[in-house]
């Protein structure tokens, strides 16, 4: 096969193998010698299955939301492509600070499939906006419901989570402006031109940049005119975040903890997630565990919280990271089949 003779093909394979190895090393380092196997053996297998199914549904909803914008722009997206975009989003978000690498990774693969960069950018930002909005909504619900408990924390913890909460608020408002404000689109085009040389940029190149941002903004009109589609994306994101926030509850039940109900756990986890997801740590590693340790002190016995934390991080971060990395590598090995030009 001709593809096997291409230098770029083998470079891509080596790159993803190296990235996968680096990811496993990061996981090993972040576990700090803690044995996840012991926690898995100790847990009830039925609840572990529920955790696995929850993350599977989380990924499937992510696939649907990512493909919604693309399909409304006239592209035919296969299930394998939807999986590829979802895997790329999770994988690169997990290994980059503030989850900044997910959307560029998705746009790269969309471009490989013949999707215009402006269309791919809009589709990923639409899915991100929906996700970010529901993260913030769940976080507000969690903080309001558990406000008395959060007030009891030491001031140091309050400041850390307040900063993360405000960053999420800013990100949500910014994404809304980018997607639906013509003025903001012009401002971003100006910033982009200035950053890459300003007056030194040739007129024809400057024209292409302006045309790119104009076409990017124009596709948002399609979604604004199709409010039912936007509503479906938001509803799916609401359910997606609920599934993700349920993982800590499921893992606690797997280890026999029944000191709090599902809604208490999910609201507490929502407050943790909205506070730490925008902080500059790869996948919020470390600070997320601190949040679990701090926020769940009244709900999980001290001698069990470490194993609950390990199981929760395993199902919500480590396992999806490994699966998404392996999925990207497999698709890379079958590039001719999956990365076809539409």
pLDDT tens sequence across 106-162: 888 888 888 888 788 878 878 888 888 888 888 888 878 877 766 666 655 666 667
What does pTM read for this prediction? 0.76
Q: Which two tokens stand for residue 36?
A: 């996840």
Residue 340 binned pLDDT confidence (cut-offs 50, 70, 90): very low
d(CA 138, CA 261): 17
Pairwise CA distance, residues 121 & 69, whole Å = 10
d(CA 204, CA 210): 10
Give yes or no for residue 57 having a pLDDT over 50.
yes
d(CA 266, CA 254): 16
* CA pseudo-torsion sign 114, 19, 318, 92: negative
Q: What are phi and psi of 32, to 5 degrees?
A: 60, 35
Task: Please report the beta strands in the chain, taking only residues with DSSP state E, as ranges in sequence order.
Answer: none
- Bridge partners of 97, per DSSP, are 282
Does residue 58 have a pLDDT over 90?
yes
323 or 213, greater pLDDT: 323
Task: Indicate the average pLDDT of the chain.
Answer: 76
87, 328 in Cβ contact below 8 A?
yes
Residues 6+ apart with CB under 8 A from 89: 62, 66, 102, 103, 105, 106, 124
What is the C-alpha separation between 5 and 338, in angstroms, rounded?
Answer: 18
User: % helix / strand / coil in the chain, to the nearest 5?
Assistant: 80, 0, 20
DSSP 8-state secondary structure symbol assigned to residue 301? -
Q: What percent of the chain has pLDDT over 90?
A: 12
Q: Identify the band that residue 53 occupies on the pLDDT scale cut at 50, 70 and 90.
A: very high
Instruction: Output the six-digit token pair for 55.
Output: 């993350």
List the structure tokens of 10.
Answer: 């083998």
Query: Is residue 178 pLDDT above 70, yes or no?
Result: no
């Amino acid at each position: 096969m001709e593809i096997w003779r291409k230098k770029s093909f083998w470079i891509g394979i080596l790159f993803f193998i190296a990235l996968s190895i680096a990811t496993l090393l990061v996981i090993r380092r972040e576990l700090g010698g803690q044995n996840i196997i012991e926690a898995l053996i100790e847990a009830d297998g039925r609840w572990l299955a529920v955790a696995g199914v929850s993350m599977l549904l989380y990924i499937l909803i992510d696939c649907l939301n990512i493909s919604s914008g693309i399909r409304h722009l006239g592209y035919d997206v296969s299930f394998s492509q939807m999986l590829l975009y979802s895997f790329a989003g999770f994988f690169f978000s997990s290994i980059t600070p503030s989850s900044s690498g997910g959307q560029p990774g998705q746009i790269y693969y969309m471009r490989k499939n013949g999707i215009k960069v402006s269309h791919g950018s809009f589709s990923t930002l639409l899915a991100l906006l929906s996700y970010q909005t529901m993260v913030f909504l769940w976080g507000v619900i969690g903080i309001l419901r558990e406000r008395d408990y959060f007030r009891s924390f030491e001031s140091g913890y309050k400041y850390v989570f307040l900063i993360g909460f405000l960053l999420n608020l800013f990100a949500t408002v910014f994404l809304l402006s980018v997607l639906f404000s013509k003025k903001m689109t012009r401002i971003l085009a100006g910033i982009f031109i200035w950053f890459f040389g300003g007056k030194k940029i040739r007129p024809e190149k400057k024209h292409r940049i302006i045309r790119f941002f104009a076409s990017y903004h124009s596709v948002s009109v399609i979604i604004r005119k199709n409010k039912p589609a936007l509503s479906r994306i938001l509803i799916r994101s609401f359910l997606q975040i609920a599934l993700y926030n349920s993982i800590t509850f499921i893992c606690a039940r797997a280890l026999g903890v029944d000191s709090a109900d599902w809604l208490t756990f999910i609201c507490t986890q929502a407050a943790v997630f909205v506070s730490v997801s925008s902080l500059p740590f790869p996948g919020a590693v470390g600070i997320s565990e601190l949040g679990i340790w701090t926020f769940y002190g009244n709900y999980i016995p001290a001698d069990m919280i470490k194993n609950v934390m390990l199981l929760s991080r395993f199902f919500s971060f480590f396992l999806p990271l490994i699966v998404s990395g392996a999925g990207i590598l497999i698709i890379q090995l079958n590039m001719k089949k999956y990365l076809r030009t539409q």
